Amino acid sequence: MTNFPFTEAMPIQFQAPLPKASEVVVIGGGVIGVTTALFLARRNISVTLLEKGRIAGEQSSRNWGWIRQQGRDADELPVVIEAQRLWRQLAEECGEDIGLKQTGVTYLARTDKEMAGFAKFLKIAQIHGVDTRLLDQGETAKLIPAMSRSFKGAMTTPSDMRAEPWVAVSALARLAAREGVTIIENCAARTLDISAGRVSGVWTEHGRIATSSAVVASGAWTLLFLRAHGVSIPQLSVRATVAATGPMPEIHSGAVADDRIAFRRRQDGGYTLASGGSSQLYVGPDAFRHATKYVSALMANPFGTHYLPAAPRGYPDGWSTPRRWNADEESPFERMRILNPAPRSSALRDIEREFTALFKQFKTVPIKASWAGMIDAMPDVVPVVDRAAEIPGLVIATGMSGHGFGIGPGMGRVVSDLVQGNEIGHDLHRFRQSRFSDGSPIKLGPSL
């Protein structure tokens, strides 16, 4: 069994020289950062993208590869509808096969309660013209006839898509570079340079870039970077384990999940497999600091998260990870170029057991690779996309809560216009930074 392909040993693709100045600096080379930079460049804005390790080296390449409208928060849905259009457009423009296919997403229900939750989302989907529909027991069995157990029903969205994330985000970065984005891998942003209370530059491990606008889209590392500048949001990160099989007979061409197992067909003829809804949280200083904000999420899914006493050394919420450093000294971001958590062995056993229980024709699962990723999460399961109130010139785009790959191009377009002060085209009130400090109740997004 092989491990995840993104490591510090892989060659650097993007090593442009550090510019003295850039109109915008984007910190973080995942799907949000890459597409934000791309759309800024398309407005003839000089933009530099800094990545401490490798483009898409962390969660943007480790996710399930789903591009789904189904099960989205009502305020996310318009952005992901736009993202689907942009995925099709960008897949053509990048000129590479990123595995983009419209094969649908289906959620399986064992209980009437789950079906009632699906019915609530169906109303939201209908408002936006999304082709989601509910299936009864017989229709569900007909959709995926190879299943060995019956389900109460299902929810399916035929227009939903899939792509290969470790291919797609790198391809988008190459497109962005061709269109003028300065991309620098292996170049950590250490601190912001702040003058007269606002952003005037970014200090990197290779020197300073003068800029009036910075976007922090650093996934699991975002809070650590922000806290060093006096900005705090209740972001945590959870570990999720994923496996990839070798080629297998096709049991379904799309993506499917219930509360125990999730799977989707891959471009290479295998399947990406994951647990339906389990993750692990390393308990560190930020977990204690923001614990009360997560009470609603904990009560909604008390057994979905397993708690581990301490993160490995150097992780964003590790007990020994520095919270402060100077611009002229090594930062935590250089000490861990790629956050590469080990897959949980018990989770891999659960994945294989649940998959073979659902499809009894497979006595074993030919797992060829396994990995884990750290998902940047928020208490209400929707992101923060906002200008930082504390520091003019700073924009935050984080906490995608496992939804980032699919919504990526749509959110990148939104963030690029937020930076420019343009009309956004979507209501971002739900994603405001102040919702955690202005007395608003925590409003959970759908756990679908």
CA 148 to each of CA 153, 354, 359: distance values in angstroms, whole numbers, following the listed order: 14, 11, 6
CA-based nearest residue to 224, from 169, 284, 184, 174 = 284
Two tokens at 287? 């977990």
Question: How many whole angstroms separate alpha carbon 308 and alpha carbon 442?
Answer: 25
CA 232 to each of CA 20, 224, 328, 384: distance values in angstroms, whole numbers, following the listed order: 29, 9, 23, 11
Backbone dihedral angles phi then psi of residue 332, each to the nearest 5 degrees: -60, -25
CA 140 to each of CA 66, 107, 116, 135, 329: distance values in angstroms, whole numbers, following the listed order: 20, 10, 16, 6, 58
CA atoms lying within 13 Å on the CB side of residue 327: 13
CA-based nearest residue to 157, from 123, 121, 134, 131 = 131
pLDDT for the residue numbered 296 = 80
CA-based nearest residue to 13, from 227, 235, 167, 117 = 167
pLDDT for the residue numbered 277 = 72
368 touches 245 (CB < 8 A): yes
Q: pLDDT below 50 — which residues of the chain?
A: 1
pLDDT for the residue numbered 51 = 98
Residue whose structure tokens are 């939903």: 160
Question: How many whole angstroms separate alpha carbon 317 and alpha carbon 402?
Answer: 18
Question: How many whole angstroms separate alpha carbon 176 and alpha carbon 90?
Answer: 10
Output the pTM of the full model.
Answer: 0.96
Helix axis angle, 165-178 to 31-41, nearest 10° = 20
CA 336 to each of CA 187, 249, 314, 373: distance values in angstroms, whole numbers, following the listed order: 12, 39, 7, 14
Two tokens at 253? 């061409």
pLDDT for the residue numbered 300 = 73
CA-based nearest residue to 31, from 172, 234, 213, 202 = 172
Q: What is the 3-state secondary structure (H, E, C) of the chain?
A: CECCCCCCCCCCCCECCCCCECCEEEECCCHHHHHHHHHHHCCCCCEEEECCCCCCCCHHHHCCCEECCCCCCCCCHHHHHHHHHHHHHHHHHHCCCCCCEECCEEEEECCHHHHHHHHHHHHHHHHCCCCCEEECHHHHHHHCCCCCCCCCEEEEECCCEECCHHHHHHHHHHHHHHCCCEEECCCCEEEEEEECCEEEEEEECCEEEECCEEEECCHHHHHHHHHCCCCCCCCEEEEEEEEEECCCCCCCCCEEECCCEEEEECCCCCEEEEECCCEEEECCHHHHHCHHHHHHHHHHCCCCEEEECCCCCCCCCCCCCCCCCCCCCCCHHHHCCCCCCCCCHHHHHHHHHHHHHHCCCCCCCCEEEEEEEEEEECCCCCCEEEECCCCCCEEEEECCCCCHHHHHHHHHHHHHHHHHCCCCCCCCHHHCHHHHCCCCCCCCCCCC
Question: How many whole angstroms separate alpha carbon 250 and alpha carbon 227?
Answer: 47
136 touches 159 (CB < 8 A): no
Q: Which residue type is seen at 98?
A: I
Question: How many whole angstroms separate alpha carbon 285 and alpha carbon 343?
Answer: 23
Backbone dihedral angles phi then psi of residue 371, each to the nearest 5 degrees: -160, 175
Helix axis angle, 77-94 to 165-178, nearest 10° = 70
pLDDT for the residue numbered 92 = 98
